[in-house]
Structure 1
C-alpha cells in the first residue's frame, strides 16, 4: 500500500494526500459493484445534486451550485466521469457567467472559454505547488528519475533511422539540397505544412 502511494505521489506535479478509510470505502465499493450501471449513475447524481457542501476551498460540488467568479480546478467533462480538466500544478479555471440548468461558461488556464454541463463537478480553489515550473534539474540523472528519456536529433542519426540522417560531417540535408524538415515517418513538419485536421468548408 505504501509503495503504491509513493509511486502515485512521484507521478504527480501537485502535492498529494493519502486518505485511508476503514469500512466506508469497502462498503461503497461493494454497493457500486452489486448494483447496475444505471442505478449507480442515479445514486451518484443524487449525491452530487442534493449534498450539502460549503463553498470553501477544497470543496467538490456541481457547477450549478457555484457562483460567478469562482476559481475552480479538477473539472469533469461528463457528469460522474471524474476530473479531467485543470489538474496540473498551480493551474485554475474561472466561472465567467452564472451557471444555468444546462451549461456553465468556464475560462480555462489557456484563456479558452468552454461550455461544460452544469451537472459536472469541480473542486473550489487552485491546484497546489504553483512553483513546480520554477524547479531546476541539477543533473541529467534527475530527468531520468522523472521518466524522461534522452532525445536524439535526426541529423545525428543514420539515413536508415531518420529522414534527416546520413551525410558527411554536420550535413544539414539528407542527401538532397533544400529538403524540408520531416518527422521520423517522412511527413513534413515545417514550411507551412498543415498537420491538423482540415477546416470544414462552409
Structure 2
C-alpha cells in the first residue's frame, strides 16, 4: 500500500526507498517503523527502529504491521559451537595470553594487572582502557 494512503501513527514494515524498487527498510524479525507526519506533500516522515527519522517519497509502498517472529533474537545458544555456526569468534582474555601477545599476559598463576602493583587495564596495543586517559595535548601548568 502506498505511504500516501496511510495515516499518522500507522505501524509499517518492508518499506521501499524509491517507488517500484521493492522493500528495503525494516525487514528484520520483529521490527516495525511508524509514520510520524501526514503524507500530504511529496514526502512522508517515518521513524525507523533505530530511532532515526527519515523522509521517504509518498509514492513508495510499505506493508502495514510488524514483521513476524519477534522472539528471534531471544533464542538460547546451547553450546559454544552454536555461536561459531553464526560466525561469532571466541573472545580471549588478556590475562590468559602470553606477555608477547598482550600487556596483561604472563605471570606465575593468577595476578592482578591493576591495583597497587603492575600496570592498569590496557588494550592489546598498550593504551589505557579506563576513564580519564588524556589523548590530546596536556595544559601547561602555571
TM superposition score normalised by structure 2:
0.66
Aligned equivalent of 2:94: 154
1:93/1:109 contact within 8 Å kept: yes
Q: Of residues 118, 121, 137 in structure 2, which corresponds to 1:177? A: 118
Equivalences for residues 5-154 of structure 1 within 5 A: 55=1, 61=2, 63-76=3-16, 78-79=17-18, 80=21, 83=24, 85-110=25-50, 112-119=51-58, 120-154=60-94
The separation in 2 between residues aligned to 1:193 and 1:131, in whole angstroms, is 40
Count of residues in Structure 1 that have an aligned counterpart in Structure 2: 129
The separation in 2 between residues aligned to 1:127 and 1:164, in whole angstroms, is 45
Measured at CA, do residues 180 and 124 of structure 1 come closer, stay the same or move farther in structure 2, by a change above 3 Å? same
Q: Unmatched 5+ residue regions in structure 2? A: 135-142
The separation in 1 between residues aligned to 2:75 and 2:11, in whole angstroms, is 25
Aligned structure 1 segments of 4 or more residues deviating by more than 3 angstroms: 119-123, 184-190
Higher relative contact order (CA 8 A, sep 6+): 2
> Counterpart of 1:106 in 2: which secondary structure?
strand
Q: Rg larger in 1 or in 2?
A: 2
Q: Deviations over 1:139-160 (max 9, x none)?
A: 2222222222222112211232
Measured at CA, do residues 159 and 94 of structure 1 come closer, stay the same or move farther in structure 2, by a change above 3 Å? same
